[in-house]
Copies of this chain bind each other. A is one copy, B any other.
Amino acid sequence: MSADEVLTVRGDAELVARAGHLFAGAQHEFVCVARDLDTWSQPAARQAIANRMPPAGETGFTVSKLLSPAALAGEAARLRLREVMAKGARVRISSTRLPHETIIIDRRVMILAGRDTPGLREYTVTTSPALVGGVYALFRAVWETGTDLAAYFSGEMPHLDADSLAVLRALGAGHTDETASRQLGLSLRTYRRRVAELMAKLEADSRFQAGLRAGELGLTG
């Protein structure tokens, strides 16, 4: 038995000082799980670390970022996302909350941040293969189910107003057009117009396909 390979530090400064070299040593993969691009550390610390990292997109070096939908809120956040993606990082969104920031480097080192608390934040640096491997497997599982952000932007995830969403819900409830239109206070004609628009946005040729797509894109609630 042994008790080692785990290190707890407080505050960004100490993290950079003690674990900065681990970032610089990244060879193959940099994984980051977080709520959004901002919370995991102070801008200064993040910058100091980013400077030490090899550039993403280099041969065999991948950067993966798994974020909560919160990362899509606000225009500034979206811009940041685009920048990160332009640098070669793969970004995915998980529909569940990810309160604890996690970083895994080369599948060998893992850094977990404690909850965002007042005062100095606590970070846990681990190199235990079992721990890192286990967390990495879980990360993979979440990653697989997340929606790819590249597809989100380029494939133009339909931006739905509350209106279209209501139509979607009516469709999902299985009502006939007549029932649904009355329920929404629309004429049959307009309701169908809305459905047609929705299907166009989803690039669906049939209502079945539209349902499928809607599910894929996580518009079911």
Residues of A within 8 A of B (CB): 1-10, 14, 18, 33, 94-102, 112-115, 122-124, 126, 128-131, 133-135, 137-142, 144-145, 171-176, 204-216, 220
CB distance from A215 to the nearest CB of B (A): 3
User: Chain B residues near A102 (CB, 8 Å)?
Assistant: 134, 138
Asked, given contacts A6-B5, A114-B129, whether A134 binds B100 with beta carbons under 8 Å apart, the answer is: yes
User: Chain B residues near A112 (CB, 8 Å)?
Assistant: 130-131, 133-134
Whether the Cβ atoms of B145 and A133 lie closer than 8 Å is: no
CB distance from A216 to the nearest CB of B (A): 6
- Determine the distance from Cα of A4 to Cα of B2 in the docked complex, in whole angstroms: 10
Whether the Cβ atoms of A130 and B122 lie closer than 8 Å is: yes
Q: Which residue of B lies closest to A122 (CB)?
A: B130
CB distance from A132 to the nearest CB of B (A): 9
Whether the Cβ atoms of B134 and A171 lie closer than 8 Å is: no
List of 7 A-B pairs having minimum Cβ-Cβ separation, nearest first: A211-B211, A215-B215, A174-B205, A100-B134, A112-B134, A96-B141, A211-B212
Asked, given contacts A1-B8, A210-B208, A215-B215, whether A114 binds B141 with beta carbons under 8 Å apart, the answer is: no
Q: Determine chain A's interface SS by DSSP, over half rule.
A: mixed
> Which of B123, B174, B209 interacts with A209 by CB under 8 Å?
B174
User: Chain B residues near A114 (CB, 8 Å)?
Assistant: 129-130, 133
- Determine the distance from Cα of A8 to Cα of B214 in the docked complex, in whole angstroms: 46
Whether the Cβ atoms of A204 and B138 lie closer than 8 Å is: no
- Determine the distance from Cα of A211 to Cα of B206 in the docked complex, in whole angstroms: 10
Whether the Cβ atoms of A172 and B115 lie closer than 8 Å is: no
Asked, given contacts A100-B137, A133-B100, A215-B216, whether A4 binds B3 with beta carbons under 8 Å apart, the answer is: yes
Whether the Cβ atoms of A128 and B6 lie closer than 8 Å is: yes
> Which of B2, B14, B95 interacts with A8 by CB under 8 Å?
B2
CB distance from A219 to the nearest CB of B (A): 9
Whether the Cβ atoms of A99 and B137 lie closer than 8 Å is: yes
- Determine the distance from Cα of A97 to Cα of B142 in the docked complex, in whole angstroms: 11
Q: Which residue of B lies closest to A203 (CB)?
A: B174
- Determine the distance from Cα of A128 to Cα of B9 in the docked complex, in whole angstroms: 12
